[in-house]
Amino acid sequence: MKIKSQVKELTFSNKKLDLQIKIQRISKKGNGVGFLTPQKSTPFDINEVHVPNTLPGEVVRVKPKEKLGKKVFGDLIEIILPSPHRQPPKCNSYLNCGGCQIQHMNYNSYLEWKKESTLELFQKSNIEIPNFVGLIASEGQKRRRASFKFKRTKERSYIGFHKSRTNQIIQLNGCVVLSADLLYTKQEIFEGLDKIVPNGTEMVIQVNQYETGGDILLTSDRELSNKTQSGLASWASNTKIKRISLGYKGESEKRLIYQDSPPSITWGGIEISPPPGSFLQPTIFGEEILQNQIFSAYKNKRHCLDLFSGAGTLSANLLTQKVRITACDNHRDCLNAFRLGYQKVKQNNLLKTEIRNLVTAPLISDFLNNFDGIILDPPRSGANAQIKQIAKSICPSVIYVSCNAISFINDAKILIEGGYRLKDFKILDQFSWTTHIEIIGTFQKE
């Protein structure tokens, strides 16, 4: 790819059906998007062109690759007019790897873009944002969880992320977002699998890097023989890995292959050992901001409800202040881990857990009225059914943590219609160089 400095007219170029467009915005997936008026002379009935590694304001030449409805996805061939916000990516694998999307923008512009594009969604939805302090940047904090793809062929093994929109595994070379400990664990498990698993093995390797060590969940397409499993276990005993578990696609059951000692994490003085593959906030920095915000708002509450609680990340520290907690999640093993951790330190029996599918069986508003604070941290799809019940309740305060601005906005509208007001709002950058954000909003019943 070369960079030219003169601007050309925006039109289809005459040869090889390349498109020449001006990039107007960045899409949810991180692609630059330009627009075209369909022309009779072209074989495309399109109006949007999506191009990775481009920035708003840039004039680029694009090789169309794939058409989806009225959108065409293309490869960048040439930057005719570069953006002043462009920088060379810091990671050597960036142009191929699908893990990051915005490393070609300089850091300050990237933070500004992340903030503004999120705020724009709120403005369009007419949700008023109070006390906004700006986007909280991760200050170089690295991620401690990742999901890698692994493949063993006759010739060699591969580990890395999928190249965007393909199944090709891109090996990481100089990754700038994952923590050094996580990258070390990745390399260790790669070497073990490369030695031990048979040709043709494909798996997803989920690594949660706790302070006490790496916790690995392998999800394989095909059965691993007992011999392979015990080979992995004896190999792992000479590594720093804490635990290796195995699951098969479509099955929830996990088998323990190897354990040095259970990996653990400490929240509010409670040592919790989350189950394999458990949700973990991606950075320690992000986790602490969320915990501190909830702690300072709820430390004097009587009884709080932690919905989509996982193993208690966001409410465990409230137990130290004698706040009663009821934690609900559909993940039995996460709730057990929370309860077992608490049982080791409890002075009073303040924690109750309930296994519940909050999408199909939300807690009803009459029950919610028993609490003086609700914490809610649903998956990306949001919590529509549960939010409708909260909106009908008289619980005075709701703190909503979300990794998806669109579902947060949809749910916020329901709360606002139900008489809640957004009192505090923060955007965190837990996912550096990607389009993902973390939101924490505090609502009060008026």
Contact residues for ligand SAM, defined by CB under 6 A: 279, 281, 308-310, 313-314, 329-331, 334, 357-359, 377-379
Q: Which residue has the tokens 């996982």?
A: 310
**Is the sign of the CA dihedral 361, 327, 262, 278 positive or negative?**
positive
- CB-side neighbour CA atoms (13 Å) of 394: 3
Beta carbon of residue 151, minimum distance to ligand SAM (angstroms, whole number): 28
d(CA 383, CA 389) in angstroms, rounded, equals 10
Could you tell me the smallest distance in angstroms from the CB atom of residue 305 to ligand SAM? 12
Quote the least distance from Cβ 289 to ligand SAM, whole Å.
12
CB of 278 to ligand SAM, least distance (A): 7
Residue closest to ligand SAM, measured at CB: 310
In angstroms, rounded to a whole number, what is the distance separating the alpha carbons of residues 332 and 310?
9
Are 56 and 25 in contact by the 8 Å Cβ rule? The answer is yes
**Between residues 146 and 159, which has the closer beta carbon with respect to ligand SAM?**
146
Report the nearest approach of ligand SAM to the CB of residue 208 (Å): 11
Identity of the residue, 79 or 358, whose beta carbon is nearer to ligand SAM in the bound complex: 358
- The amino acid at residue 292 is N
384: helix, coil or strand? helix
Shortest distance, position 439 Cβ to ligand SAM, whole Å: 12
Residue among 10 and 359 whose Cβ is closer to ligand SAM:
359
- Kindly give, in sequence order, each residue whose CB lies less than 8 Å from that of residue 241, ignoring residues fewer than 6 positions away: 185, 188, 189, 213, 214, 216, 258, 260
Residue 157 pairs with which residues in a beta bridge?
152
Least Cβ distance, residue 342 to ligand SAM (angstroms): 15
- With beta carbons less than 8 A apart as the criterion, state whether 421 and 444 touch: yes
Residue closer to ligand SAM, measured from CB, 202 or 329: 329
Q: How far is the CB of 357 from ligand SAM (least distance, A)?
A: 4
Token couple for 58: 């840039």
Contact between 36 and 46 (Cβ < 8 Å):
yes
CB of 358 to ligand SAM, least distance (A): 4
- Residue 49 vs 405, nearer CB to ligand SAM: 405
Q: What angle do CA 79, 82, 84 make, to 5 degrees?
A: 165
The one-letter code for the residue type at 377 is D
CA-based nearest residue to 19, from 27, 41, 30, 88: 41
158 has which bridge partners? 151
Shortest gap between Cβ of 355 and ligand SAM (angstroms)?
A: 8
What does the alpha-carbon distance between residue 401 and residue 404 come to, in Å, rounded to a whole number?
Answer: 9
Q: Please identify, using beta-carbon distances, which residue of 130 and 379 lies nearer to ligand SAM.
A: 379
E-only strand ranges, 191-323: 202-210, 213-220, 243-248, 255-259, 265-267, 270-272, 303-307
**Minimum CB separation from ligand SAM for residue 298, in Å?**
14
Structure tokens at 270: 């409670």
Is the Cβ of residue 334 or residue 351 nearer to ligand SAM in the bound state?
334
Helix (H, G, I), strand (E, B) or coil at 176: coil
Pick between residue 166 and residue 357 the one whose CB is nearest to ligand SAM: 357
Nearer to ligand SAM among residue 118 and residue 386 (C-beta): 386
Looking at the Cβ atoms of 416 and 440, the one nearer to ligand SAM is 440
Q: Could you tell me which of 373, 363, 364 has the C-alpha nearest to residue 303?
A: 373
- By beta-carbon proximity to ligand SAM, the closer residue of 145 and 151 is 145
DSSP at 223: P
